[in-house]
């Protein structure tokens, strides 16, 4: 898919951004079916000073996303389960406010959360339709380490859910964010998500809570790719794996062998599918316990990772949260630190967040609906190569 940006006229005759943005808004209104309605919306807030440069028309080529049956299945699953909470489309005022936030920043840090991934069909925990709403309790770090039964349950569910989890595609929000990053409008990105959808969209964020795409030993630190671990599980449990893979998971029903999709890629399945004779591969280096390289509930973010995120938060001039309720301290402390260091702060999220009382700009909208619109506005337009 390609997104064609509007061609802006020569700067000659325009003294400041107010004139130029006013012309762009008029052009948008005249070409948009809702133009008459938009003509009554508040115009851009004026900026002082002169425009330093002019951007020419550009074409953004988004990465191609496969349209095979897996992708359609993921789309149908998202639509039916209504994973993304309802929100009115972002208004022109919302877009203008977010534009100003970006435009005034020279060192912007972005933190993303589960609200990014729900738009790709991956459930979250805390939204009205999230996993917590059904009484689900995720496994804790302590439970995983002390109980072989808990590890069997986790890895059986995770193996069963892996195929669906990896079928998810980056959303328009992921892609727009990557475009803004590559154009130099974002200095540093941090994500709470473990699904690597940002990477598939072209970004390379600091993964605050790790990733399910890597499996690591809790004893010696040896790690291996998740796909290789999946192969090992299948090799050790061939009949079990064949039985799981032969079961047809209906995306419109949670009754298919009693399973429900979960936020971290695992699936809730009946005990009969994992309790007996399920073998978990051991670390090939020290025979230790293997777990996904993810910060489970009850565990701490590795110090080096936490320090890198905090350094970015304290050193930025603007901090933007996208799709996170900030209920975990590892995330909340970052925006709090940025605020205390004097940075501008803003949140785009559907529903309440832990930082609502300290952040001056809060927009209730889907990230995938507001960020693409930002690519058409003023100095955020992506320059031609």
192 is in an annotated binding site: yes
Please give the Cα distance from 8 to 305 (Å, whole number). 42
Q: What's the mean per-residue pLDDT of the chain?
A: 75
77-115 tens-digit pLDDT? 333 344 566 778 999 999 999 999 999 999 999 999 999
Q: What is the pLDDT of residues 239-256, one digit of tens each?
A: 888 877 776 554 444 444
Asked if 209 is an active-site residue, the reply is yes
- Mean pLDDT over 35-64 rounds to 35
324 marked ligand binding residue: yes
Segment 59-63 shows an average pLDDT of 36
CA distance linking residue 140 with residue 118, whole number of Å: 22
Q: Catalytic residue among 174, 185, 198, 209, which?
A: 209
**Contact residues for 215 (Cβ-Cβ < 8 A; gap 6+):** 223, 224, 225, 226, 229, 290, 291, 292, 293
Starting at the earlier edge strand, list the strands of the sheet with 223-225. Answer: 223-225, 210-217, 290-294
**Residue 189, pLDDT above cutoff 50:** yes
Structural contact between residues 198 and 112, judged by C-beta atoms closer than 8 angstroms: yes
Is position 325 annotated in a ligand binding site? yes
Q: Cα separation of 265 and 202, whole Å? A: 21
| pLDDT at residue 348, rounded to an integer | 97
User: To the nearest 10°, the Cα dihedral for 14, 317, 3, 37?
Assistant: -60
DSSP result, 100-153: HHHHT-SSEEEEE-HHHHHTTT---SSSTTSGGGGT--PPBHHHHHH-HHHHHH
pLDDT one-digit tens code per residue, 63-75: 343 333 334 433 3
Structure token digits, residue 142: 């302590």
Does 220 show up as a binding residue in the annotation? yes
pLDDT at 200 over 50: yes
Q: Which residues contact 382 (CB under 8 A, 6 or more apart)?
A: 5, 55, 58, 60, 179, 183, 375
Higher pLDDT residue, 32 or 233? 233
Q: Evaluate if residue 199 carries a pLDDT over 90.
A: yes
Q: Is 351 annotated as a binding residue?
A: yes
Ligand-binding site membership of 7 (annotated): no
Phi-psi region of 351 (alpha: psi -120 to 50; beta: other; left: phi over 0): left
CA distance 38 to 282: 61
d(CA 8, CA 378): 9
Q: What's the pLDDT score for residue 96?
A: 95
For the chain, counts of helices (H) and of strands (E): 14, 13
The packing angle between helices 238-246 and 226-236, to 10°, is 110
Tens digit of each residue's pLDDT (9 = 90 or more) over 294-348: 999 889 999 999 999 999 999 999 999 999 999 999 999 999 999 999 999 999 9
Partnered with residue 206 across adjacent β-strands are 190
Under DSSP, the state recorded for 4 is: E
Question: Which neighbouring-strand residues pair with 142?
Answer: none
- Res. 19 pLDDT band, cuts 50 70 90: very low
Contact by Cβ (8 Å): 347, 355: yes
- Write down the pLDDT at residue 137: 66
Best CA proximity match to 279, nearest among 217, 222, 245, 229? 229
């Amino acid at each position: 898919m390609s997104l064609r940006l509007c061609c802006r006229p020569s700067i000659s005759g325009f003294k400041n951004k107010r004139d130029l943005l006013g012309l762009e808004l008029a052009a948008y209104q005249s070409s948009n079916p809702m133009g008459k309605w938009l003509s009554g919306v508040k115009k851009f807030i004026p900026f002082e000073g002169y425009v330093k440069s002019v951007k020419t028309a550009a074409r953004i080529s988004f990465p191609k996303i496969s349209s095979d049956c897996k992708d359609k299945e993921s789309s149908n699953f998202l639509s039916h389960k209504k994973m993304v909470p309802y929100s009115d489309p972002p208004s022109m005022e919302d877009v203008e406010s977010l534009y100003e936030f970006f435009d005034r920043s020279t060192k912007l840090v972005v933190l993303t959360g589960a609200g990014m991934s729900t738009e790709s069909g991956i459930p979250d925990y805390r939204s009205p339709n999230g996993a917590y709403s059904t009484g689900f309790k995720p496994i804790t770090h302590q439970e995983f380490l002390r109980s072989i039964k808990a590890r069997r349950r986790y890895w059986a569910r995770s193996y069963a859910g892996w195929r669906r989890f990896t079928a998810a595609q980056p959303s328009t929000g992921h892609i727009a964010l990557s475009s803004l990053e590559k154009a130099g409008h974002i200095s540093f990105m941090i994500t709470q998500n473990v699904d690597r959808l940002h990477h598939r969209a072209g970004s390379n964020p600091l993964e605050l809570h790790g990733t399910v795409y890597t499996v690591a030993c809790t004893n010696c630190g040896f790690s291996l790719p998740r796909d290789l671990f999946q192969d090992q599980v299948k090799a050790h449990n061939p009949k079990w794996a064949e039985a799981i893979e032969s079961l047809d998971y209906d995306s419109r029903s949670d009754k298919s062998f009693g399973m429900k999709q979960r936020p971290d890629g695992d699936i809730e399945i009946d005990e009969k599918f994992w309790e007996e004779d399920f073998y978990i591969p051991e670390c090939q280096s020290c025979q230790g316990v293997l777990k996904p390289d993810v910060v489970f509930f009850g565990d701490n973010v590795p110090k080096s990772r936490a320090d890198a995120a905090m350094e970015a938060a304290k050193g930025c001039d603007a901090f933007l949260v996208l799709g996170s309720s900030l209920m975990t301290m590892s995330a909340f402390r970052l925006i709090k630190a940025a605020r205390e260091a004097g940075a501008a702060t803003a949140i785009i999220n559907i529903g309440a967040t832990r930082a609502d009382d300290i952040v001056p700009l809060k927009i209730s909208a889907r990230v995938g609906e507001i960020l693409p619109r930002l690519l058409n506005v003023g100095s955020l337009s992506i320059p031609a190569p």
